[in-house]
Amino acid sequence: MNMPNKITIENIQAAYELAKQVYNKKLKLDYAVTILVTEEGFNDNSAKDYINDYKCIIEGNVFKRALSATGIDYYLSSIKKDGTKIDFYNAIKSVRKHITYYEAIRNTNVIKLRQVVSKHNTIEQYENLIDYSLHTIAFEEQVKKSALLSEQCRNEILASSVKVEKKIAIIEIFNRNPHVVAAVLLRAKGHCEYCGKAAPFRRKKDMTPYLEVHHIIQLADGGEDTVKNARALCPNCHREKHFGLNK
C-alpha cells in the first residue's frame, strides 16, 4: 500500500471530503490531489487512490488500489451517514469485491478489512435489495399463474398468507429535464394530446389539470428528452401507450 507515513483520521476526513467534491464535479482531480499532498501529507499516488477509490466505492465497483482499514471504515461510516441506502449498499458491495480481489492477488487474508465490513452489521437489511423492474415482471407472472388456479385453491392460499414483506428495491431513473415537462403541459392546455379529452381531474397541490408527460420514443430506447418527442396524456391514454394494444 502506498500511504503517508503517519496518516490520521483528520487526513482521511479531508480526503473523503475532497473525493466527494471531485465525484460531484465541483473540484478537479489534480487540484484535490495537490491539496492532499501539500496540506495533508499524502504522497501523490496515495492521494489519487483515496480520491479515485471513492468513485468505485459509491458506485459499487471493485477498487484495486488498497486503502487502509481505517480509511475504508471512515468511508463506509461517512457514506452511511451522508448518502442513501443504495449508496451504502454499493459501498459495502465494493469493499467486498475489493477483499476478494486483493486476497486473490496477494494470496492472503485481509482480516482487518473483513472486521471493518462485519462491524457495519446493519448491512443485513440491504442484502435483500431487489431489482424493481425484474420484481415487477416476476410479480406479473405470479398474477397470471394465480388466475389459472381454482377459486378454492386460491382462497386456501389467501387464508394462509402471511404479513406483507417489505424489501428495498433498486430502480434506475432518467434525470429528466423539468423544462420539457413544463413546456409540454402548457402546450396541451389541459387536454390529452392523444384522445383530446380534458384532464380527468385537477391536482390537489396546485389545482392544475392532471396530465402525464409521455415520451413517444422512450428514453430507455434512445429517445430524446425534448418537447418534440413528448406528449401530455391523460392517465388512461398513458397506460394504454405502455401496456395496451396500441403500445
Distance in angstroms (rounded) separating the CA atoms of residues 56 and 23: 10
In which element (H, E) is residue 242 found?
helix 235-243
Q: Of the ranges 95-99, 109-113, 226-230, which is most confident?
A: 226-230
Give the mean pLDDT of 59-64.
91
At residue 8, the pLDDT reads 92
**pLDDT of 122 higher than 60:** no
Distance in angstroms (rounded) separating the CA atoms of residues 237 and 245: 11
Nearest to 67 by CA among 50, 45, 42, 51: 50
- As a whole number of Å, the CA-based R_g of the chain is 25
Phi, psi of 122 (to 5 degrees): -70, 0
Measuring CA to CA, how many Å separate 95 from each of 19, 114, 224, 245? Answer: 17, 9, 36, 46
Strands 169-170 and 230-233: unpaired
Nearest to 95 by CA among 47, 46, 68, 62: 62
Give the mean pLDDT of 174-186.
92
Give the mean pLDDT of 45-58.
95
Distance in angstroms (rounded) separating the CA atoms of residues 123 and 85: 10
At residue 2, the pLDDT reads 43
Mean residue pLDDT across the chain: 87
Confidence of residue 130 (pLDDT cuts 50, 70, 90): low
Distance in angstroms (rounded) separating the CA atoms of residues 227 and 207: 23
Quickly tell me which residue has 413517444 as its cell: 216
pLDDT digits (tens, 9 = 90+) for 139-170: 888 888 889 999 999 888 888 877 777 777 76
pLDDT digits (tens, 9 = 90+) for 234-245: 999 999 998 888
Give the mean pLDDT of 184-201.
96
User: CA angle 151-156-158, nearest 5°?
Assistant: 90
Q: Name the percent of the chain lying above pLDDT 70.
A: 91
**pLDDT of 6 higher than 50:** yes
Confidence of residue 4 (pLDDT cuts 50, 70, 90): very low
pTM above 0.85, yes or no: no
